[in-house]
Structure 1
């Protein structure tokens, strides 16, 4: 195990922003994770676990403790009749795994293509898009428990999955280090075409699209919205969707709908609850595509993507974040919740 000092973190993030890690360790095996944790405990240091760097914003001062970059690799699979189980190491690139599954005609994650990051981050955030979320296919998650100092296999029902939530980012935040995720995918499956953009894309398609066609369509849609990382595209220096779609009481939604000049997009979210697109709220509050505030801004292609427009600092992004939250709260009595994790 190699312990590095004062390692800049900007290049490890999709924002391209952030100061240095005081100490930096890359772990490519479970034994190296044990060694890294031992170093943290012996030196009485704080710990941050880094995966693909696609859902975080690192402060300008960096992180004062140990950044542990989980870089375990490997994909194992087992065919069991109508399903195939994939045990995937946390450091594997998420899109590489999605492509492998789709190529083998294994369905369940085809609409989750184009999402940047590593496999280990998917259960933490319960990654979802275009009508699918990983909670529907995860069978178990292997973790290192920092409390018991041991490896544990958590069943899906123990992970507390909900919309963009799990025990890993709520009740047990900072307790577990994800090392492997086991997914169960359906063999020879038909794709999920439930999301409005996908339905529109395939409205003139003859018959049901294949998994490959559906996955390709999602990538094209994501690229049109600036939600696909393309080298050289300034709208790609972001963490994707910056705010979660808020779930609000139906009474509050009725008030908003009554005063709105046009129909308010919404989705059912359980009894007495309505989910409202955060992008609509931003737009109505004056934060439109292409909006600029100093060196930070909003993507020209998607209202929800806050971007590093021209050498922005973490403070620049945070200032825009706070301005958006304040104005949406004042206008709609809704406090938006950021998706990216603040580090530092």
Structure 2
């Protein structure tokens, strides 16, 4: 039998729609869908589909996807390898998680085990496998701070290998896995530290709290911004922070401040090691004339009523509604400040341009 006609080992699913697999709740129907329950199944399924040149989309938590509506000419592979190992192999603080593990479950397990390092990443939706791809971060911490190795299926060589985190070129919301499709994350490994107190909490001026308290506090703050999933709350039908915080030359930051006028004194500016300045996307979106809830109560897609950085589906939005809103905001900010916001989610079958 030819290899390309072999049936992938993963479970075949029927009636799948991306709207049911993504936190934005938009997206059409793939040609086929499979659920891989182990790392081996995930690698083998991708391998067989690649041999047959089948376009595919790997889905974990679906929290970082903007997918076109209608019939999609691709196959979905759902990563459902969700094992979490704390103090893996007897090594204190070593944490391994399957790509399909719910990220917040990983954080909860580490806090419960008295390990510090990712407690500020509590409540971030999505799966463990997605965290190194865009170097997930919040409240002063990033996955790159603790990531040691990543188990990859290399789609170019067909090999499965553990690679050091240092080979991923991790930077702000970036890795060399992002947008390239060169490899599939199968598992991740992190080194955390046994501790009673959290890492310094940036939103509390660097204060450190007992781990469980720190986690509870972060979850409360995220929920107040609509950033913790709740099926009954349309403010959480989003892809989280939709645009990355722009990193610009000092002269551009100064020009934004000058354009804003009297309000400039409150403008968040975070100096970067390379002399650039990181600005707050949420802050400049508001100052460009896009308040929370924009464009109003009747719109199927609008900015969250809790946080200007989240674009939300109010229950009936199509992908086009989301894209139109994103374009309006990007263009409005560019026209007002000369800064082009870059979307954080992965776009499938649709684009902002």
> SS at 2:152's partner residue?
strand
User: Contact between 2:39 and 2:98, CA under 8 Å: does it hold in 1?
Assistant: no
> SS at 2:282's partner residue?
helix
- Is residue 11 from structure 1 mapped to residue 16 from structure 2 by the alignment? no
Distance 1:169 1:100, change over 3 A: same
Structure 1 residues 24-52: Cα deviation after superposition (integer angstroms, max 9, x where no partner): 11111233224423442343211211111
User: Contact between 1:193 and 1:214, CA under 8 Å: does it hold in 2?
Assistant: no
User: Contact between 2:43 and 2:186, CA under 8 Å: does it hold in 1?
Assistant: no
| 2:317 aligned to which of 312, 317, 335 | 312
Map of 1:244 onto structure 2: 244
Map of 1:205 onto structure 2: none
> SS at 1:331's partner residue?
helix
Structure 1 residues 174-221: Cα deviation after superposition (integer angstroms, max 9, x where no partner): 0111111001000125312342x3339x6xxxxx42011111100111
Stretches (4+) displaced over 4 A: 79-83
User: Contact between 2:86 and 2:95, CA under 8 Å: does it hold in 1?
Assistant: yes
> SS at 1:67's partner residue?
strand
Structure 1 residues 286-322: Cα deviation after superposition (integer angstroms, max 9, x where no partner): 1110113631100110010100013000000000001
> SS at 2:305's partner residue?
coil
| 2:197 aligned to which of 190, 195, 202 | 190
TM-score by length of 1: 0.92
State how far apart, in whole Å, the 2-side matches of 1:107 and 1:50 are. Answer: 28
Map of 1:342 onto structure 2: 347
Distance 1:82 1:144, change over 3 A: closer
Distance 1:69 1:222, change over 3 A: same
State how far apart, in whole Å, the 1-side matches of 2:88 and 2:97 are. Answer: 15
User: Contact between 1:18 and 1:62, CA under 8 Å: does it hold in 2?
Assistant: no
> SS at 1:162's partner residue?
coil
Distance 1:79 1:91, change over 3 A: closer
State how far apart, in whole Å, the 1-side matches of 2:226 and 2:168 are. Answer: 31
| 2:133 aligned to which of 124, 127, 146 | 124
State how far apart, in whole Å, the 1-side matches of 2:223 and 2:90 are. Answer: 35
State how far apart, in whole Å, the 1-side matches of 2:13 and 2:197 are. Answer: 47
Map of 2:94 onto structure 1: 85
Distance 1:176 1:162, change over 3 A: same
Q: What is the CA-CA distance between 1:6 and the residue it aligns to?
A: 5.6
Structure 1 residues 93-145: Cα deviation after superposition (integer angstroms, max 9, x where no partner): 11111011001110000000010111101101101001111100111000101
Aligned length: 335
Map of 1:223 onto structure 2: 223
> SS at 1:252's partner residue?
helix
State how far apart, in whole Å, the 2-side matches of 1:33 and 1:105 are. Answer: 31
Distance 1:62 1:116, change over 3 A: farther
> SS at 1:315's partner residue?
helix
State how far apart, in whole Å, the 2-side matches of 1:119 and 1:126 are. Answer: 11
Comparing 297-306 with 208-217, which one deviates more in the overlay?
208-217
State how far apart, in whole Å, the 1-side matches of 2:226 and 2:39 are. Answer: 36
Q: Please identify which structure carries the higher strand content.
A: 1
> SS at 2:227's partner residue?
coil
TM-score by length of 2: 0.90
**Where do 1:294-305 residues align within 5 Å?**
294-305=299-310
**Where do 1:89-238 residues align within 5 Å?**
89-170=98-179, 173-195=180-202, 197-199=203-205, 208-238=208-238
> SS at 2:192's partner residue?
strand
